[in-house]
Every structure is written in structure tokens, then in C-alpha cells.
Amino acid sequence: MADASGVASLSLQDKEPAVEMAAGAEVGENASLAKLQELNVALKLYQHPEATTIDEQVQHVGHLQGVLTKNLLLRDKKIGTFLVTALHDRPTDTKTLAKLLKLGGKANLRFADEKILESLLKVKRGAVSALAVLNDTENAVTLAIDKALLEQSTINLHPLRNDRTVSMPAAALLTYLKAVGHEPVVLDFDSVPAPAPTAAPLKKDKKSNGNCEREDGGAAAAKKTATVVPGGTLLGIDVSKKDNFALWYTRVITYSEMIDYYDISGCYILRPWAYSMWESIQRWLDAEIKELGVENAYFPLFVSKGALEREKDHVEGFAPEVAWVTKSGDTDLPEPIAVRPTSETIMYPLFKKWIRSHRDLPLCLNQWSNVVRWEFKYPTPFLRSREFLWQEGHTAHASFDESQQMVRDILDLYKQVYQDLLAVPVIQGRKTEMERFPGGDITTTVEAYIHGSGRSIQGATSHNLGQNFGKMFDIQYEDKAGGHAIPWQTSWGITTRSIGVMVMAHGDDKGLVLPPRVAPKQVVVIPIVKASLSMEKKEALQAYAMRLVASLKRGKVRVHLDDRDNYTPGWKYNHWEQKGVPLRLEIGPLDLEKGTVRVVRRDDGSKEDMAEGVVVETVLQRLNQIHKDMFERCKAQRDEKLVRVTEWKDFVPALEKKCIVLTPFVNETEWEEEVKRRSREEALAGEAEDDRTATSVAAKTLCIPFDQPELPAGTKCFVSGKEATCWVLWGRSY
């Protein structure tokens, strides 16, 4: 609802996920909330999409203050049933839990099935938490709680349903449990050995530097143990990229200070570290499109309902994602106003006004802006967000050939963004009819591959709109012969998704690995200073570091001096590794005496010592080499997973091996839909529906690559058996 200030409100097709709501409205249907209210517990209630797993909870409510919990209902037929509630990163294998519960070596703990869960706690799978013992009126369940959980200031729990989260003081949970007759057994997880951490272990370089040993990245993380708090700052990534790609990605972008969460689900804050990368892309691309004769402009955020719905095919493609403004203050607007999902229908009424003669062509405009697409798929920062930043270019030309040249010129620039700035190889091609942009004639694309997840991702698109929008918006001009003509139009865009692609392509278990050309800081200089050094030595070391920084700045290197005295060198190494800075320069007392500096590469961890006099020249060489090596490494990983398949029997097995697949294809929509259906069914065969989803296993066409292998006459389509017309690239896609 809008408030008295007159701020407009959005009317959406579904309830707002991950938003705070009043608990009072829910009390009547939720006994746990009623009990908390009865006990005068200070709480906040949040509404969000169903979250049945820890990963989904992190995705939807990981930005909330406090910690999330792992909740397990376990049963031993002879000993009894146990509900274990612990910090979500705790080791909860049955052997560890049996030891903590002091059940003895003969205990045979097993996870209780859904029938037992519903009969004892009266909740569904994915909705259980410590609050559910309220429903255990027979005291059939022993509740066991992690000691560390009770030491937190705030905990976040499901209140008997998995589309709500209640945030409350940890101390209040004990009050609640006592009131419902379930005082818990307290488990001290720190009393048992934890599994080996995935973060890099502490290492010492055998070479000492004066009186100071160099600490390898991750040392501080190994020295200290930190409680994992979603959205908090840790010294090391606690999830392996290989073991849990989605959670690893969330950790990397938050721990590196790229992203922070907002109280509207699907909307994210780009912190300076991330926004600087977008500015690098923006500066480069803006200069390049201006060389093509494109000028920047800005058009309004809002579009009238009539304008948006004028082009039927176009609006049908975006209809589910459009957010509508329906009120101004408490007053209903005469007609809903849409927030732009794209700007064709905003710009083209003006094109009609501005294009009167062939002398007005070509008209080439671009705007750097934000758009809103209110989709209800799982939001993911950079990859799938409800508001995102992009550039969108729109041009009008006198001929198809001119328009198509613009489409290809722009696509080449997008390829350069990925390959020359982000060090990510891409494949250029044309989308199939099923995948083309709604309302356009031809959609071209650059497609990237993410080795860690085995998925492809659309990097950017450039569309030839033909004369469709010209006809729809009655854009006509007088041609050279004095007749009337309709211009040929294009539209094209690249978004902040490109940053997410870069993170996924290059990141490792320590955090970001940034390509030097977009890294906010290309070099970090770290003096190694210990308290035992004399003041004279400390000052000399500081002066040496500042001299190096000044030299690098003169060489146009983006450099940062980390001379903070409240952190150890090892902590700093880990911090800047996590943020992905390409080069680290370490300076210790021995370096000062010898006039040298140690240089450490982030991408491969290699180290070398060099003289002060060659630092700038060598650093510039290393930065270029790092970009080249990162690109080649990423390309080799992709090429290893790019396979050709000519028969259906080999298609799904290739997808299961995380490959992208090039096949001969008849290029007919009905067969494209058949591939999607059959690939999903075969992948799901023998698996529970809950375990795999259509979006995760169904194959889709990525593009018809411009670089087409030879297709001999008579080659059969791999699925239909008809004669193939082209090679098509398929994959599982984000």
C-alpha cells in the first residue's frame, strides 16, 4: 500500500517474496506465532517463496540479520526420536550426532520419513524447526539444540511452514521451549573434531623475510574458527565450488563485498567492488559504440499500457514479468503504468516523430539504464534479478543490409567485452525461431559456458527487428525517390549478468579471481610489519611501499596500499585473494635491504622476486599475461566439454556429463520442443520429481553457431531423422 507521502505502489501478479509482514495477521492460523505473541517475544515475520533446503533459505532470507538453522528429525527404533537443531554449517552425520547425544556405539540413527514427521510434529518436509515441538503433545521427540546457536543474538526459523521465516532473539527460544514443555538437550559441537575445512590450510613459506615469515593466503582462516553467518564476513569461503556450486557462488559474491541483499527479494545492492567492474565495461563499450555513430540518450522509466500492448508478440514475451504502477498515494491511476522491461515501446513513438526523411537515417541511439522484469523464478544476483543495469541500443536504417551490419558489429563488440575484458570465451550465433526475441526477425547471441556447473549462459544479444516495429508504430519517411518507406530497425543489449558470468567462470575455492582489465584494483601492496621492528625500520618500510605505489600509479596501474596495522599480513593476503586482486606485492624488511619486492599472482599462486627498478614494467607484463592465461584456461575447460553428437542415444548422456552438445538438426520448432521434452524425461527417469526440475535438466538450443562445421548432403537430424539443415548447439542453461 502507498503511504500518505504519495509514493506510487506496485501491483504485482503474486505476493511479494521475502518481505517483512505483520505477525498479527498470521496468529490465528499459526499456533507457534500465537505462543510467541502470548510470551511477548519481540519478533519479525518474513514472507518468501517456499524454502525447503538450506540453499533456498540462504537465497531468500540469507540477507537477514542473525543465523539460519539446520533441522533434522532422526530416529532409532529402540532408543527414540530426536529433533536436532543446529547452526546450518554444522557436521550432522549420524555418527557425530550419536556421539553428541551420548547414545553409545550401538545407536542406529536414521532420518525419519515424512509420515513420521507429519504425525509427530504436524509439519511438512522442509518446514520443521525447533518451534514445531509445540505439536508434540506426547513428548515423543527429544529436542537437541546446538550450544553455539543459543549464544547467538538472533536466529531465523520456519514457524511451522516453509514460506515464512520468524526472526527472534535466541534467548526467547528457550523461553518458548520451556513454555511448551520441551526443554532441550544442549549439544556442544565444538567438543568433537570437525571435518577437514574446504578453505586453504595454513602454510608457511620456507623462505623467511627478515624477522617475519610470509603467511600463505588462508592462513588467518586456519588460525581462527568463525561461525558461519549468511551474509556475514568470513576469512575464508566455506563451500567448495565443486561440491555445491550455487552456495559457493553466493558465498563468493557476498564475502568479496560485491553484493549485499535488499529487503525486496530479487533486488540487490551492487557494492563499489562490483559497480567498478560495470563501470569498466561501460567505459570501454560506450567508446566503441560511439565509433559506430551511436549517440547516448535517456528515455523515461515508465510506459503506458496502450503503448506496451501495441505490439502483441512483443508484449506476450514480457507479460508475466511486467510490474505495474496502479496507485499514486491512495488514488487509483486512471490507467496502470508499466515499469519498463525493455524500451522499444517507449522509444518508437518518438522515432515516428523524429524520422521524416532519408536524411534522418541512420538514427542510432543508446541508453545506459535499469529495467525491471518481475519474474518469479529463483532470483540470483547478477544472473537473474528483478531489477538490473544494462545498455540498450536502438537504431533505424534505410536498408536491411545496413541494419544487419549494425547487428553484427554490435555482436562483435559483445564478444570483445567477454573475451578482451572478462577473459571468458564465447560462441557467436543466431537463435532459433523458438528462442528469438519477441517481435524481432533475427536474434544473434554470444553464449558462454560455465565449467563448474556444466551450464551455458546467454551473454548478450543483438536483434534485427526488421520492419515490424516500424509498421506497428507507423514509422515512415520520405525516401530518395520521393516515396514512403519504413526503416529497418535493430535493438541490442548487455547487462550486469556479464559480471556474474565472469565470477562463475574464474572463481575458485578462495573467492574471486578477477581479470586484470576489469579488476577495481589490479595490484595490492602489503608491507610486512611486525611490532618487533624498530620505528626507523617501520618508517623506511612504509616509505618504500609508498614509493612503489607512486611508481605503479604513474604507470597507470590501479593499485592499493594496505598498510592497516590492525590486521596480520596473512589476514590481508586472504582478504585480497577473496576479492580477486590479480597481483599482490609483499614487502618485508629483507626486501627493503635488497631493493626487491615479491610478486604473487592470484590466478595460479605463482611467486617471484623482482628488483624495484623493473617493478612497473614487469607488473604491466604480468597483468597482460594473467589475462591471456585466464582466457586460455577457461577456453580449454569449455572446449573439453564441447562435443559433437549425431544420434539421440548419445545426447542426454553427454548432457549428464556437463557438456554442451553440437548436433545436426532439422531446425523446426516442433522438434526443438520434442528435444526439450524428451531430454527432461530421460534425465528424470528413475529420480524423484522433487530432486530434479525441468529447468535444471531439459536441454535447450543455445544458438546456431556462425562457425558451422561442414554438413554433408544427406546428413540426418539427430532426433527427427529428417535431413539436417544446420548444426545447432544445445545445453542446460541458466
Average pLDDT estimate for 625-648 = 98
Confidence check: pLDDT of 285 > 50: yes
Q: Which of these ranges, 6-20, 31-45, 573-587, has the smallest mean pLDDT?
A: 6-20
Average pLDDT estimate for 271-292 = 98
The answer to whether 238 touches 197, Cβ cutoff 8 Å, is yes
Confidence check: pLDDT of 186 > 50: yes
- Phi, psi at residue 102, to the nearest 5°? 60, 50
The answer to whether 153 touches 66, Cβ cutoff 8 Å, is yes
Predicted local confidence at residue 29, as pLDDT: 60
pLDDT in tens, 324-375: 999 999 999 999 999 999 899 899 999 999 999 999 999 999 999 999 988 6
Using CA of residue 663, residue 664, residue 668, residue 671, what is the dihedral sign?
negative
- Phi, psi at residue 547, to the nearest 5°? -65, -40
Predicted local confidence at residue 374, as pLDDT: 83
Most distant pair of Cα atoms in the chain: their distance: 96
C-alpha to C-alpha distance for 697 and 669, rounded to whole angstroms: 19
Average pLDDT estimate for 459-470 = 96
C-alpha to C-alpha distance for 77 and 137, rounded to whole angstroms: 20
Q: Which of these ranges, 115-129, 197-211, 657-671, has the smallest mean pLDDT?
A: 197-211
Assigned C-alpha cell, 667: 531446425
C-alpha to C-alpha distance for 509 and 650, rounded to whole angstroms: 33
Confidence check: pLDDT of 566 > 60: yes
Domains of the chain, earliest start first: 9-191 (3.90.960.10), 198-239+513-624 (3.40.50.800), 270-297+353-506 (3.30.930.10), 642-731 (3.30.110.30)
Assigned C-alpha cell, 140: 515423543
Residue 217: which residues within 8 A CB-CB, separation 6 or more? Answer: 200, 510, 570, 573, 574, 577, 605
The pLDDT confidence band at residue 215, using thresholds 50, 70 and 90, is very low
The answer to whether 603 touches 583, Cβ cutoff 8 Å, is no
C-alpha to C-alpha distance for 680 and 674, rounded to whole angstroms: 10
The pLDDT confidence band at residue 278, using thresholds 50, 70 and 90, is very high
Confidence check: pLDDT of 99 > 90: no
For residue 713, the one-letter residue type is A
Predicted local confidence at residue 376, as pLDDT: 60
The pLDDT confidence band at residue 19, using thresholds 50, 70 and 90, is low
Confidence check: pLDDT of 225 > 80: no
DSSP 231-271: TS--SS--S-TTT-HHHHHHHHHHHTTSEEE-SSTT-EEE-
Beta-strand relationship, 212-215 and 642-644: unpaired
C-alpha to C-alpha distance for 141 and 75, rounded to whole angstroms: 9
Beta-strand relationship, 363-372 and 295-296: parallel
Predicted local confidence at residue 379, as pLDDT: 80
Assigned C-alpha cell, 252: 563468493
The pLDDT confidence band at residue 690, using thresholds 50, 70 and 90, is very low
C-alpha to C-alpha distance for 648 and 671, rounded to whole angstroms: 12
- Phi, psi at residue 728, to the nearest 5°? -125, 140
- DSSP element (H, E) containing 273: helix 272-291
Predicted local confidence at residue 371, as pLDDT: 93
Confidence check: pLDDT of 726 > 70: yes
C-alpha to C-alpha distance for 465 and 393, rounded to whole angstroms: 12
Tally of CA atoms within 13 A in the half-sphere of 589 that contains its CB: 16
Helix (H, G, I), strand (E, B) or coil at 184: coil
Rg (the chain; Cα; Å): 29
Using CA of residue 392, residue 394, residue 399, residue 402, what is the dihedral sign?
negative
Residue from 512, 623, 504, 603 nearest 557 by CA: 623
Q: Which of these ranges, 36-45, 471-480, 605-614, has the smallest mean pLDDT?
A: 36-45
Residue from 493, 480, 472, 481 nearest 360 by CA: 480
Q: Which of these ranges, 35-39, 513-517, 557-561, has the smallest mean pLDDT?
A: 35-39
Average pLDDT along the chain: 86
What angle is formed at CA 606 by the lines to CA 600 and CA 609, rounded to 5 degrees?
55
The pLDDT confidence band at residue 196, using thresholds 50, 70 and 90, is very low
* Distance between first and last Cα of the chain: 34
**pLDDT top residue among 186 and 525:** 525
DSSP code of residue 508: B
- Neighbour tally for 329: CB within 10 Å: 13
Predicted local confidence at residue 574, as pLDDT: 93
